Structure 1
Amino acid sequence: MPKGNTLKPFQAVTLVLEGADGYCRVSSVHGVAELLLEHWPIDDGEDYVAAVHICLEAMLGASPPEAAREALIKAAKEAGIAMLQ
C-alpha cells in the first residue's frame, strides 16, 4: 500500500481543455495522475514525463502533493493548456 495520500488536497488548479471536457479542476495527486494518464493531449514532452514521475513519487510518499501540482502546471504550459488559478 502506498505511503502517500493521493487524495490529500492542495490548492486547486483549473485547466481549460479542448473538446467536450472543457474545464478540469484538479486538487489532489490522484486527480493529477488521472488527468495526465487519461486526458493529456501529448505524451512525449519533457515536462509531461517529469510530471508523471513526480506524481508517482507523490503517490509513494517520496514527494509532497504540492510537487505534483507544480509539475502539472509546468506540463500544462508545455502543452499549451490554459490555466485559471
Structure 2
Amino acid sequence: MEWDTSIEFAPVILLFKDPDRLFSVRTAIGAANTLIKEFPSDDGEAFLAAIEICLDVVKGNTDPEQLRAAIIRAADEAGVTAITVLH
C-alpha cells in the first residue's frame, strides 16, 4: 500500500498558549505530527477524530479539506487558537 503524506490543504496556523509555539499545518503528515507531539490534550473526541482522518487522507480515502476542518475542531476542543488561511 502506498501512502501519500504530501497531500496539501489550505494552511491552518495553530497558536498555543506559549507564544513561542506556533505551527502552520498544511499536510496530513504535518497535521499528524502536530496533533501527536504538540496538542495539550490527546483524549478529546475531536482530537481522536482528527487523528483518524489523518490516516484516511494518507490512505486516499478522505478529502484533505475534511482533515483541515477536523484540525480546526480539535484545536477548538483543546483551547488552541486556529487561524485559517485561504489561498
Length-normalised TM-score, structure 1: 0.88
Cα RMSD (Å) of the superposition?
1.5
C-alpha distance in 1 between matches for 2:2 and 2:69:
21
Paired residues, what number?
84
C-alpha distance in 1 between matches for 2:14 and 2:26:
11
Identity of aligned residues (%): 37
Structure 1 gap segments, 5+ residues each: none
Length-normalised TM-score, structure 2: 0.86
1:59 offset after TM fit, Å? 1.1
Residue 41 of structure 1 is matched in structure 2 by 40
Farther off after superposition, 20-29 or 42-51: 20-29
3-state DSSP of counterpart to 1:76: helix
C-alpha distance in 2 between matches for 1:83 and 1:66:
15
Structure 2 gap segments, 5+ residues each: none
Where does 1:6-45 land on structure 2 (aligned, <5 Å)?
6-19=5-18, 21-45=20-44
